[in-house]
Amino acid sequence: MGHSQDGNYGENIYYNTMNPQDANFHMKNAVQSWFDEHKQFRYPNSCGGACGHYTQ
C-alpha cells in the first residue's frame, strides 16, 4: 500500500491489522483517526501540525 504519485486527487488510505470480529471497532477507529486531525487544522486553510489526511 502506498500513496499515489499523482497529486491531483485525494486518497483515503488507512491500514490496521484486526480480528474480523472487531471490524466495526476498527472502522470507527479509522474515521476517528482521520477526524482527530481537525485539531491541528487552522481555518481558513492551513495545517498547524499533522493534518494532511484531514485536509483532503
pLDDT tens column, 1-56: 666 677 666 666 666 676 767 777 777 888 888 788 777 766 666 666 665 665 55
Q: What is the pLDDT of residue 47?
A: 65
Q: What is the pLDDT of residue 24?
A: 72
Q: Is 7 contained in some domain?
A: no
Q: Is 31 contained in some domain?
A: yes
Task: Supply the pTM of this predicted model.
Answer: 0.49
Q: Is 53 contained in some domain?
A: yes
The separation between CA 33 and the C-alpha centre of its own chain, rounded to angstroms, equals: 6
Q: Which domain holds residue 49?
A: 19-56
Dump the DSSP string for 2-53. ---S-TTS----------GGGHHHHHHHHHHHHHHGGGGEETTTEESSS-TT
